[in-house]
């Protein structure tokens, strides 16, 4: 193989790894959303780094995998159904770190009532031996619609 051919091959391999990494991060965003909607908390935990920090809509930071999983379970387990639609994903890679911004439109259903949350996930990622994990997640809520009592847990008024 000529030097030119080797350089081309190296550039193509780098391009392929970039595409594959960005696809893997988008896959993890989607896996997280599907896990929420199927109440698959083991799968949810697999999307999170051990030292993950998460903040939803200006609340205080949750620290660690269990607090995040428990927060999600408390919010979702009393619903009849939910649908977390994720899209418009932008990813920036930097070696074993990444940042993404994605759009969320989340439906929450209970007793025939619906509450919709539109927002922006601003995420930091870390690459582990088992794949990309969310290291930090902030949900910026842009708008809501419907009946907010749908999301109120039993402990809330």
Q: Which residues bind its own copies (CB under 8 A)?
A: 1, 8-9, 12-13, 15-16, 19-20, 22-23, 27, 30-31, 33-34, 37, 81-90, 101, 103, 105, 107, 109, 114, 118, 120, 142-143, 145
User: Which is nearer to its own copies, 37 or 46 (by Cβ)?
Assistant: 37
In angstroms, what is the minimal distance from the CB of 109 to its own copies? 5
Cα 113 from chain centroid? 25
In angstroms, what is the minimal distance from the CB of 19 to its own copies? 6
Say if residues 62 and 53 touch (Cβ distance below 8 Å): yes
User: Which is nearer to its own copies, 67 or 118 (by Cβ)?
Assistant: 118
How far apart CA 125 and CA 135 sit, in angstroms, is 5
Token pair 């619906």 in the structure block, residue: 114
Strand pairing report for 113-128 and 131-146 = antiparallel
In angstroms, what is the minimal distance from the CB of 133 to its own copies? 17
How far apart CA 37 and CA 121 sit, in angstroms, is 17
User: Which is nearer to its own copies, 62 or 121 (by Cβ)?
Assistant: 121
User: Which is nearer to its own copies, 30 or 67 (by Cβ)?
Assistant: 30
In angstroms, what is the minimal distance from the CB of 107 to its own copies? 6
CA distances from 50 to 23, 63, 140 (A): 22, 9, 23
């Amino acid at each position: 193989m000529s030097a030119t051919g080797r350089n081309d091959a190296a550039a193509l391999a780098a391009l392929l790894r970039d595409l594959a990494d960005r696809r893997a991060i988008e896959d993890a965003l989607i896996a997280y959303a599907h896990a929420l909607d199927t109440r698959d908390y083991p799968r949810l935990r697999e999307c999170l780094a051990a030292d993950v920090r998460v903040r939803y809509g200006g609340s205080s930071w949750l620290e660690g995998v269990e607090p995040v999983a428990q927060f999600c379970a408390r919010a979702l387990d009393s619903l009849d159904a939910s649908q977390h639609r994720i899209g418009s994903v932008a990813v920036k890679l930097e070696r074993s770190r990444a940042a993404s911004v994605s759009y969320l439109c989340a439906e929450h259903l209970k007793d025939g009532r619906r509450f919709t949350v539109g927002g922006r996930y601003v995420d930091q990622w870390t690459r582990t031996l088992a794949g990309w994990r969310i290291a930090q997640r902030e949900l910026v809520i842009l708008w809501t619609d419907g009946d907010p009592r749908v999301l109120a847990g039993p402990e809330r008024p």
